[in-house]
Amino acid sequence: MQAHSRRAPAQEIQAQRRRFKKCPGPLDTVTASRHVKLPMKNTLTITQGQAQFPALCRKTKTTAITRNGEVVSFVVPRQKMADLLEQMEILANPEAMATINRAKAGKGRYHPLSALDEA
């Protein structure tokens, strides 16, 4: 469990600003997070999203939900979300990443398909 920061809110925002300095987009002074404009064809306001929610759940493309012209949420199809979670698990696995990096460097170990018959 991490210890909570004892900095004053203004100091914490300044510290986060330094960390996010290289990130694109304007800084939200309340959350000290960056807002990045994401161009998407499928964009709805919150009101439109609420009215079309059953249809959104059946779509196969991601839809951005906006409030006052700013993206605040996404409705992501189940399969795409499952794929993203699987990819995040692989990226978080040091052994898998080491194997991927070895393969990219041309140092991977490859076996003939006939080796599967022996198993």
Instruction: Match 């987009």 to its residue by tokens.
Output: 25
pLDDT 10s digits, 26-42: 555 555 555 555 567 88
What are the extents of the domains in the chain?
Answer: 1-36, 39-76, 77-107
Strands 70-75, 63-67: pairing is antiparallel
**pLDDT band, residue 114 (cuts 50/70/90):** confident
Strands 43-45, 63-67: pairing is parallel
Contact between 62 and 56 under an 8 Å Cβ cutoff? The reply is no
Q: Give SS3 for 55.
A: helix
pLDDT of residue 1 exceeding 50: no
What is the maximum alpha-carbon separation in the chain?
Answer: 64
**What is the value of pTM for the model shown?**
0.54
* β-pair partners for 67: 70
